[in-house]
Amino acid sequence: MDDELKELYQQVILDHNKNPRNFRVTDPHTHDAEGYNPLCGDQVHIYLRLKDDIIEDISFTGNGCAISKSSASLMTTLLKGKTPAEAEEIFNRFHELVAGKSDELPDLEALGKLAVFAGIKEFPMRVKCASLAWHTYHSAVKDYGSTVTTE
Ligand code: ZN
């Protein structure tokens, strides 16, 4: 990844950390879950309201490092308005990206803003920070009937 791109990504992370989107409690919400990453001390609480198979609203509260917070913030902006099935697809793409399971270059265009986390697999400790919000979202909706992928 070239330096200019890296810098741009860093700015997105810093921006979401400073001004997190949807940092509040969804009221009323139909699903919620709490997540904790003991390696870093990140805590996140995800709230969402599902209506007619659409994620009508999704939000988060919590405390954590810049990576965990910006990841949760980005996630809420990406999942709002999606169906749980679409959210699942985005989750899978994100997971492949940060876990680095595939050697192929990820399709950065399809990932959109998620590509911000493309460099994170070089920092295994940080992968947990970045994926915390996603796993917490997952446990919030697992009783909903979407397909749950375990690690
Ligand atoms: Zn962290």
60-95 pLDDT, tens per residue? 999 999 999 999 999 999 999 999 999 998 888 888
Is the confidence at residue 150, as pLDDT, over 60? Answer: no
> How many Å apart are CA 123 and CA 84, to the nearest integer?
29
Find the 35 Cα to ligand 1 centroid distance in Å. 12
Find the 51 Cα to ligand 1 centroid distance in Å. 31
Is the confidence at residue 102, as pLDDT, over 70? Answer: no
Q: Can you tell me the mean pLDDT for 3-7?
A: 76
Mean pLDDT of the residues in the chain: 86
Is the confidence at residue 122, as pLDDT, over 70? Answer: yes
Find the 131 Cα to ligand 1 centroid distance in Å. 10
Find the 63 Cα to ligand 1 centroid distance in Å. 9
Find the 120 Cα to ligand 1 centroid distance in Å. 12
Q: Which residues have C-beta under 5 Å from ligand 1, the single-atom ion?
A: 40, 42, 65, 68, 129
Q: Can you tell me the mean pLDDT for 5-30?
A: 90
> How many Å apart are CA 62 and CA 68, to the nearest integer?
10
Residue 144 has a pLDDT of: 60
Residue 11 has a pLDDT of: 86
pLDDT band at 137 (very low <50, low <70, confident <90, very high): very high
